[in-house]
Structure formats: structure tokens, C-alpha cells
Amino acid sequence: MVIVMAKGATGENIAAVSRLLEHHSLKAHISQGSETTIIGVVGDKKRLADVNLEMLPGVEKVIPIMESYKLASKAFNPQGIVVNIDGAKIGGGHFAMMAGPCAVESEEQIVSTALAVKQSGAQFLRGGAYKPRTSPYAFQGMEDEGYRLMRLAGDEAGLKVVSEIISENNIETAAKYCDMFQVGARNMQNFRLLRELGRSKMPILLKRGNSSTISEWLDAAEYIMSEGNYNVVLCERGIRTFETATRNTLDISAIAVIKEKSSLPIIIDPSHAAGKASYIESLSLAAVAGGADGLIIEVHPDPMSAMSDAAQQLNFAVFDNLSTKVKKLVTVLDKQM
Ligand code: PEP
Ligand code: MN
């Protein structure tokens, strides 16, 4: 449930509600809007069976939340969450462009890509250091050296760095080099990892599992948020369907559903959805028009020689052309990129 405080509620009114919840072994998560304060209640509601919260001073109303996720729900944060990564904002009219190779392969590869995507208007450099691959024989990434090169390239180009984290044991090291962690589709339900990332307070890009429902995806976000980390950005990257013409099926409907059900920003990864470079532009423009808060696109200096995901990566010129179109559309929609 969420407790909506009246407009004139005092700090003491809010503190009294929090104390009462704690007394009943429930957690209070406070969301401070411009006019009203909303208190999200997490824990076993049955503990409040004999308490009439609406009688407390300063409480306007109590709204039950039927969904299993609470903090990720629209009701808890009706004004929407804007994730701010050292000044680079995502959500609330701020559109983020993330671009870079599937995997970091060398210093030259990542630095040249960083400079090119920055020139085309990206704010974030993507690139995998740890690659969770379907086959154990496929390239697994440069690991910690990859993180170091991401930071080097990001700093050289003036880009924020986003890279995948695959183990809770590596958070401290990875946090030295990254501005945002990606949780990949294969780890969306790695609950121990999600909890630890919640405790870390690092901004998280949470990809949707390729066979996960939107509700399961929001439950995964809730794991991170329930530990006090609200810096979560959702990423739709295609789901598994009967269709084989594309690598996955981009669930464009997810944008509308998330906008209605959740306060979290959502970005789209057309690269892993399509699996093919020639489909990226169409999916990207559809995502922007459909209200996405950003895009994450794979870009490589020489896609055909890439050590992973060669077929779907864009070269610099194609990305630049796409980025120009995205910028125009973003402007038409009164957003900032
Ligand atoms: C990636 O972004 O490189 C990646 C592996 O994505 P996903 O987890 O969506 O497959
Ligand atoms: Mn990839």
C-alpha cells in the first residue's frame, strides 16, 4: 500500500507515520513530490490489520497496491523517477543515447568508438567487459581490464560509462570504473545480485529477461529498490517468440505498459532485439516515437570483424545518420538529448 499525505502535512506527521510502521516491523519508503509526500509500505500488511492509518494526523488516504511490486509502481511515484547519473539525466523529458560495441576488444577499438559516438551525440558509452555468452567457447570478454579501458575511453571522449556486471563479488572493483551497471537479460532474476546492487546505490540499467513478463521484470526492479536504490532504468531488448526472422521480437508495447504501471524510465535496445544491422533504424525510430526515454545501440569500428554480435553492430557512419534522425524526433517530442 501507499500512504498519501495531505498537502499541509508536517515533517512530524510524516515521522509519526514512519515510526508507527517501524513499530509494526514494516519498512517505510518516502517519496517526496513537489506538493505531496507519499509513503510506500513494504512488508506484511496483515500487521496493520488493527490500525486505521487514515485516522493519523496529516494522512489524506491509503491506496492498496495489488501488484507484487510496490516501489516500482506508478502509485508510489506518480510524478515519475528521473535517474541522474552525475548530471546525465534519464526520464522526465531527458532522452539518453547510449552507444558502443557489444564487447570491449582493445584500447584502440573502444577509444575510437567512444570518440565517434560522442561526436554523433551519445552521452553514454556502452561496452561489455564480462560477456555472459550462450556458449562457453565463445569470447567471454576482457573482464576487469575491459572495465579499465571503458573508463579510459569514456574519460577521453567525455562520456558516462555503462557496462554489465555479472557477479555480486565484483561490485567494488567494477564501481571504480563504471558510472552505471547493466544487468543483462540472463541475470534479470539473479536475486542475490539484484539485492547487492540495491545496497550499492549505483545506477542500474535493468534489461528484461528474454522470456520474462513485464510483471516479473518490475519485480526484479523491486529487488533493487527495496534495498533503497531507486536509480533504476528499465531496458527492453526483445523477447523470445515464435518469430525467427529477427533474433528476438522487440516488445514495443512494453513502453506503453511501463509508462502506465511504473514510475521508472524505460529505454530500448534495438540491437539485441533485431540481431541485424539493417533493422536497427526502424526499431529505434519506433521506440523514440513510442515514448522511450532512451536508446542503447551497438556500434563498432568494423562490425564484420567484431568478436561478438557482428551482424547487429552499426559502423560509425550508419550510427551517425541514425543519431541525426533520432535527435530530430526527440526535439519534435519536446524532449532533450
Ligand atoms: C549486451 O548488452 O551486450 C547483452 C549481452 O545484452 P542482453 O543481456 O540483453 O542479451
Ligand atoms: Mn551484444
User: Residue 49's pLDDT is what?
Assistant: 85
- Ligand 1 binding pocket includes 185 (Cβ within 6 Å): yes
- Ligand 1 binding pocket includes 127 (Cβ within 6 Å): no
Question: In ligand 1, which atom is closest to the CA atom of 103?
Answer: 3
**d(C-alpha 264, C-alpha 90), whole Å:** 10
User: Residue 239's pLDDT is what?
Assistant: 98
**d(C-alpha 274, C-alpha 249), whole Å:** 7
Average pLDDT, rounded, for the chain: 96
In residues, how long is the chain?
Answer: 337
Counting ligand 1 atoms within 8 A of each CB, the residue from 125, 133, 182 with the most, and so the one to mutate, is 182
Does residue 327 register a pLDDT over 90?
yes
Cα of 18 from ligand 2 centre, angstroms: 44
Cα of 298 from ligand 2 centre, angstroms: 7
Quick check: 271 and 297 in contact, CB under 8 A?
Answer: yes
Segment 120-138, tens digit of pLDDT: 999 999 999 999 998 999 9
Mean pLDDT across the stretch 108-117? 98
User: Residue 42's pLDDT is what?
Assistant: 87
User: Residue 230's pLDDT is what?
Assistant: 96
Cα of 185 from ligand 1 centre, angstroms: 6
46 vs 112, more confident? 112
Segment 135-146, tens digit of pLDDT: 999 999 999 999
Question: In ligand 1, which atom is closest to the CA atom of 102?
Answer: 3
User: Residue 45's pLDDT is what?
Assistant: 83
User: Residue 70's pLDDT is what?
Assistant: 92
Protein residue with least CA distance to atom 9, ligand 1:
185
- Ligand 1 binding pocket includes 270 (Cβ within 6 Å): no
- Ligand 1 binding pocket includes 128 (Cβ within 6 Å): yes
Mean pLDDT across the stretch 8-15? 94
Question: Can you say how many angstroms the Cα of residue 254 is from the centroid of all Cα atoms in its chain?
Answer: 13
User: Residue 219's pLDDT is what?
Assistant: 98
* Residue 34 DSSP code: S
Cα of 129 from ligand 2 centre, angstroms: 11
- Three cell numbers written together for 285: 525510430
Environment class of 44 (CB within 10 Å of its CB; exposed 0-12, middle 13-18, buried 19+): exposed
Mean pLDDT across the stretch 261-269? 98
**d(C-alpha 109, C-alpha 103), whole Å:** 10
Environment class of 253 (CB within 10 Å of its CB; exposed 0-12, middle 13-18, buried 19+): exposed
Quick check: 336 and 93 in contact, CB under 8 A?
Answer: yes
Does residue 35 register a pLDDT over 90?
no
Quick check: 288 and 333 in contact, CB under 8 A?
Answer: yes
User: Residue 151's pLDDT is what?
Assistant: 98
Domains of the chain and any CATH numbers? 2-63 (3.30.70.1140), 83-332 (3.20.20.70)
- Ligand 1 binding pocket includes 272 (Cβ within 6 Å): yes
Looking at all shown ligands, the one closest to residue 206's CA atom is 1
b/e burial code for range 225-248 (CB count within 10 A of at least 16 → b): bbeebbbbbbbbbbbeeeeeeebb
- Ligand 1 binding pocket includes 268 (Cβ within 6 Å): no
SS3 68: coil
**d(C-alpha 5, C-alpha 35), whole Å:** 10
Mean pLDDT across the stretch 6-28? 94
Does residue 33 register a pLDDT over 90?
no
Segment 238-257, tens digit of pLDDT: 999 999 999 999 999 999 99
